[in-house]
């Protein structure tokens, strides 16, 4: 888990997040900075903009960093990576903290 003393954290007591095991509680949202981003496009028409070390689940249910994905890789639910590009911006980045039981969740349908 991140060192929450260095970042802005919003505590959560009202919401749940969708996981592969149903909706789960989570402790909060951490807000950070990271100008390096990767934009990943998928076969289902969705895109994900994330940090290079954002973890993504593969078809084999293993974790891979976004920076290590390649075109035509299959991720969870047989979605295929169709494009990858890098970009830089100073927008905040967000991460859910302590998702109950599974420590993973869906974002943007991915």
What is the DSSP annotation of 54-104?
Answer: -EEEBTTS-EEEGGG--TT-EEGGGEEEEEEEEEE---EEEEEEEETTT--
The per-residue pLDDT for 68 is: 96
Query: At residue 98, does pLDDT exceed 80?
Result: yes
The per-residue pLDDT for 52 is: 93
Q: Are 32 and 49 in contact (CB under 8 A)?
A: no
Cα distance between residue 106 and residue 110, in whole Å: 5
What pTM value is reported for the model?
A: 0.78
Q: Are 23 and 2 in contact (CB under 8 A)?
A: no
The per-residue pLDDT for 97 is: 92
Convert the pLDDT of each residue in 3-19 to its tens digit.
556 788 999 999 999 98
Convert the pLDDT of each residue in 31-47 to its tens digit.
988 889 999 999 999 99
Q: Which tokens is 80 given?
A: 């295929």
Stretch 43-64: mean pLDDT: 88
Stretch 86-110: mean pLDDT: 85
Cα distance between residue 44 and residue 80, in whole Å: 8
Q: Residue 103: which residues within 8 A CB-CB, separation 6 or more?
A: none
Q: How confident is the model at residue 90 (pLDDT cuts 50, 70, 90)?
A: confident
Q: Which tokens is 96 given?
A: 């859910």
Q: Which tokens is 16 given?
A: 């749940």
């Amino acid at each position: 888990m991140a060192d929450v003393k260095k970042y802005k954290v919003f505590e959560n007591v009202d919401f749940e997040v969708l996981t592969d095991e149903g909706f789960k509680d989570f402790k909060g949202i951490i807000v950070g900075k990271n100008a390096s981003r990767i934009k990943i496009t998928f076969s289902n028409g969705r895109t994900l903009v994330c940090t290079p070390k954002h973890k993504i689940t593969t078809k084999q249910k293993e974790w891979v960093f976004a920076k290590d994905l390649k075109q035509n890789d299959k991720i969870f639910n047989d979605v295929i990576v169709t494009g990858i590009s890098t970009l830089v911006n100073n927008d905040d980045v967000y991460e859910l903290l302590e998702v109950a039981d599974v420590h993973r969740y869906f974002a943007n349908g991915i």
